[in-house]
């Protein structure tokens, strides 16, 4: 598995907190870097894919199987 | 004038002869291509941009305004928020209390205390209990306050623009407003911002 450059822990944050935290972390990352986002906001399940489409970054992994904590891996464009 | 059908027949190669083009049909075709090119040049190019007219200064208006502005900025969109009328009070410095010179302006500023921190609700105000309850619920659900979201949006490149005319009308000076704003603009500039934006909202 590819190396995660950074984990953004947005557990407990509500909309638009997780996306704002992810976008800020992405701003400091290099193109191609993989970032992991942890969120508990149920809205993130639709919002993270929407954000990826809007921002042009690639959503490479989604794991919503864990109870209450959703995990996303994004590759910076 | 020849119809399209007739031209097509004429352009078809006839037995033993080179295909010919009707000069009138050719001229018409060129004219139409030029017209299309001209229309495209004059056309509006939409940008990946969100424009919000922040008209309302109430908590339940300025909150969605700041949520959408910060989210769009976090999604890599260009963002312009145009503050006008009661929306202007949301960008008044928290330490500024009474603004304006005329007694009517002073009265309006007394009824619309600056910054989202002191904004009222459009309903269920209950003499201040409504906003307090909403903020309590927001804190429980870890929703950022509008003043924090406004800072975030600004930090991520959103342009916050006050409306010059309503500033004058309400007696607001540039020094009464928070730092980091763009120069005040007028309605035509706001329309231009909206015309080029893929999304424009009035909140």
List the domain boundaries for chain B. Answer: 1-9+21-43, 47-202
CB contact under 8 Å between A12 and B142, yes or no, is yes
pLDDT confidence of residue B2: 47
Query: Residues 6 or more apart from A41 whose CB is under 8 A from it?
Result: A10, A13, A14, A15, A17, A18, A47, A70
CB contact under 8 Å between A14 and B74, yes or no, is no
Q: What is the pLDDT of residues B29-66, one digit of tens each?
A: 999 999 888 888 877 788 999 999 999 999 999 999 99
Q: How many residue pairs from chains A and B have C-beta atoms closer than 8 A?
A: 46
- Minimal CA separation from A50 to chain B, in Å: 9
Contacts of A13 in chain B (CB under 8 A): 142
Residue A61's H or E segment, with its range, is strand A58-63
Higher-pLDDT residue of B99, A49: A49
pLDDT confidence of residue B138: 86
Level-2 CATH architecture, domain B47-202:
3-Layer(aba) Sandwich (3.40)
pLDDT confidence of residue B198: 95
Domain segments of chain A as ranges: 6-75
CB contact under 8 Å between A23 and B143, yes or no, is no
The alpha carbons of chain B give a radius of gyration, in whole angstroms, of 27
Tokens of B152: 């975030």
Cross-chain CB nearest to B71 (options A12, A13, A19): A19
Q: What is the pLDDT of residues B143-154, one digit of tens each?
A: 889 999 999 999
**pLDDT above 60 for B179:** yes
pLDDT confidence of residue A18: 93
Residue A16 at interface with chain B, using a CB cutoff of 8 Å: yes
Contacts of B75 in chain A (CB under 8 A): 19, 23, 51, 54-55
Contact B116, B86 (CB under 8 A): no
Q: Residue B95 CB: number of other CB atoms within 10 A?
A: 7
Confidence band of B1 (pLDDT split at 50, 70, 90)? very low
Contacts of A19 in chain B (CB under 8 A): 71, 74-75
What is the domain class of A6-75 according to CATH? alpha beta
DSSP-assigned letter for residue B53: E
Q: What is the pLDDT of residues B12-35, one digit of tens each?
A: 566 776 667 888 999 999 999 998
DSSP-assigned letter for residue B194: H
CB contact under 8 Å between B75 and A15, yes or no, is no
**pLDDT above 50 for B86:** yes
Q: So which residues of A are the catalytic ones?
A: 15
Query: Residues 6 or more apart from B160 whose CB is under 8 A from it?
Result: B81, B83, B91, B150, B153, B154, B180, B181, B182
**pLDDT above 50 for A5:** yes
Q: What is the pLDDT of residues A22-76, one digit of tens each?
A: 999 999 999 999 999 999 998 899 899 989 998 999 999 999 888 789 999 999 9
Residue for token digits 């509006």?
B44
CA B87 to CA B114: how far, in whole Å?
Answer: 10
Q: Residue B172 CB: number of other CB atoms within 10 A?
A: 26
User: What percent of chain B is predicted at pLDDT more than 90?
Assistant: 50
pLDDT confidence of residue B153: 94
CB contact under 8 Å between A54 and B156, yes or no, is no
Taking CA atoms, A39 is separated from A24, A49, B58, B97, in Å, by 15, 13, 30, 39
pLDDT confidence of residue B173: 92
- Minimal CA separation from A24 to chain B, in Å: 8
Q: Is B42 exposed, middle or buried (0-12, 13-18, 19+ CB in 10 A)?
A: exposed
Contacting A residues, span 43-72, partner chain B, CB-CB under 8 Å: 51, 54-56
CB contact under 8 Å between B143 and A14, yes or no, is yes
């Amino acid at each position: 598995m590819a190396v995660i450059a950074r984990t953004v822990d947005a557990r407990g944050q509500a909309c638009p907190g997780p996306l704002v935290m992810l976008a800020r972390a992405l701003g400091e990352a290099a193109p191609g870097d993989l970032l992991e986002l942890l969120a508990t906001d149920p809205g993130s399940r639709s919002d993270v894919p929407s954000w990826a489409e809007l921002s042009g970054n690639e959503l490479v992994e989604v794991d919503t199987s864990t109870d209450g904590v959703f995990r996303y891996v994004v590759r910076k464009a | 004038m020849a119809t399209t059908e007739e031209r097509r027949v004429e352009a078809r190669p006839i037995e033993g002869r080179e295909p010919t083009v009707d000069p009138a049909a050719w001229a018409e075709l060129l004219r139409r291509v030029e017209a299309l090119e001209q229309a495209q040049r004059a056309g509006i190019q939409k940008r990946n941009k969100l424009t919000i007219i922040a008209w309302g200064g109430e908590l339940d208006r300025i909150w969605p305004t700041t949520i959408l502005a910060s989210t769009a900025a976090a999604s890599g969109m260009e963002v312009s928020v145009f503050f006008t009328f009661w929306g202007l009070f949301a960008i008044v410095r928290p330490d500024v209390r009474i603004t304006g010179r005329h007694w009517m302006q002073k009265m309006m500023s007394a009824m619309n205390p600056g910054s989202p921190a002191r904004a009222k609700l459009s309903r269920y105000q209950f003499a201040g209990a409504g906003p307090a309850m909403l903020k309590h619920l927001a804190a429980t659900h870890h929703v950022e306050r509008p003043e924090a979201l406004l800072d975030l949006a600004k930090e991520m490149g959103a342009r916050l623009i006050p409306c010059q005319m309503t500033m004058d009308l309400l007696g607001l000076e540039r020094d009464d407003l928070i730092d980091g704003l763009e120069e005040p603009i007028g309605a035509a500039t706001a329309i231009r911002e909206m015309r080029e934006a893929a999304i424009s909202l009035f909140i």
